[in-house]
Structure 1
Amino acid sequence: KAIGWYISEYGIAQVSMNLTDISLTPLHIAFDEVCRCAQNRGIRVTGCEIVGLVPKKVLVEAGKYYLEKQQRSIGISEKEIIKIAVKSMGLDDLKPFNPEEKVIEYLLEAENKTTKLIDMTCQAFADETASESPAPGGGSISAYLGALGAALGTMVANLSAHKPGWDEQWKVFSDWAEKGEKIKNELLFLVDEDTKSFNKIMDAFGLPKTSEQEKNIRSKAIQEATKYAIEVPYKTMCKAFEAFELCNAMVDIGNPNSVSDAGVGALCIRSAVMGAYLNVKINASSLKDKVFVDDILQKADDLLMKTKSMEETILTKVNNKL
């Protein structure tokens, strides 16, 4: 639904739209159509404004749309994608546009804000790890190493997508970068999740144990928390291992000037998998469900062997190219 009128006070025409179905008519498509109509009349759109709040999905889709029109990689952070959307549609031309105040999801997150390890500075995260607190520990560090490995592979993909003379290949590298960005974000989630799983064990041990009933409840809670504390680092192993494919591809087809970065990414991934493996093993030693333990340790052992093989393969290729 739309209406347009001329505002003599400002000497401009305004088009006001109410997008009733953004799945059918996304914001960026409506904006481009207004731009097209304006151009046909020899004028241009000088700015755009969103009245009220907007779902994050709308701006993310818009940002990716304009990046692809520019033949730029979409494998970048959500923050940067939204920034592209804001600039491309002129959302900050009339007045400042602050996503933290306009995006529904960001406002909801702000209301339920909790302190996260991944929100810390590098210095603060290192200091917190070095403190006498047992968490964050090896599990969270392993997940972060995996995220850094995926980030390095993604960086090489983005550099390759925009390398002069490689214009025809931008989509290939954009797809790789998008895959790496997804893996990176999932591993960043596991950084905090691993510490949470440890805290759940501590909470379970802190339950009362006076009566037999309390002892049974406490014992069950400890076992459930321990099982989860095994599953989280195993997820880290699996997710980090996925990033090997990215780094391997970047060694093969990526910007040759960044081959060492892809190699360092592979080293981070290898350390992430091996570090998470140690956490799986130490937590598995306390679980009474031996069927579960035997199964997950077998899968972890298999993944560890594949990791060592992938690391050797990638580093051999890297060294041959240096």
Structure 2
Amino acid sequence: MNQLIECVPNFSEGVNVAVIDQIAHAIKNVNGVKLLNVDPGKAANRTVFTFVGSPGAVVEAAYQAIKMAGQLIDMRAQKGEHPRMGTTDVCPLIPIADITMEETVEYAKQLAERVGTELQIPVYLYEDAQPDKRRSNLSVIRAGEYEGFFIKIKQPGWVPDFGPAENDAKRGATVIGARKLLIAYNINLNTQSTELANAIAFDVRESGRSKPERKPGKLRSVKAIGWFIKEYRVAQVSMNLTDTTVTPIHLAFDEVCKAAKDRGVSVTGSELIGLIPLRSLVDAGRYFLRKQQLDDNISEAELIAVAVQAMGLDELAPFEPRARIIEYLLQDN
């Protein structure tokens, strides 16, 4: 197999279809990459793209997409539920096949340097690409968001890794890096209370809560916040599962169910953002069958169906495995 990198850039536009289509076109125009998924969120005002390809082609496609987003999106008018700091909020590269994380880091740095130098956008490295671990966490970098970066970027310790040390009024700043495969996953609650959703998020996320005293959450390698999605009229616990070998999706779902029950709230279903590895859903299907004391010696398709039903992945929209599972998309392409 040839070297393969996945790129999952998040752009600060989830409503304007024409803008989203033009960014997608910029990606698809690059030979050697395949656009696997485009997942817009209206309330978050954010679109997650997923594409794969050879390292050089992925870097070129990411650059063209970041350039296009900077031309079409104006951060001065951008509002949404999701935290953000620029037109391209974050752009991670993920090693998929025949390539090491160390090699992927070098490609991320190439992309970051080009964006900073040629586009003059402030760029921060994150995760494995960031040598300074005090600023390798995305949420730490993004704290203050677009509005706060005009001051933050001038503070000691927050000079960008590449590009000007001046927040761009139209395009903001961006974060580029290399990381492991991540699952973006939202769990729906039978409440519209952001306060309750946040309390549950603090109960489960690894960093827990800091007030009135520091108390870690129950799930390692999990980031979470609570928000209200006007589009669906539900509050959600919005999570990033940063290492599914530590906390798989089914355990995250179960722990949120427990935390919600403790606060008098019920989980009604969940929502996957972007794509998911096949193994995550197969393992989830086996987990829920064993929990129900049922035989898990069934087909792959049946295990996936069990996982979708148990976690309510189709509550807000139909869940099509061939459009959401990475391995299936790679086969079809």
State the TM-score bracket (shorter-chain normalisation).
Answer: 0.3 to 0.5
Q: Which has the larger radius of gyration?
A: 1
User: How high is the TM-score relative to the length of structure 2?
Assistant: 0.32
More strand by share: 2
Q: Which structure has more helix as a fraction of its residues?
A: 1
TM-score, reference length from structure 1? 0.33
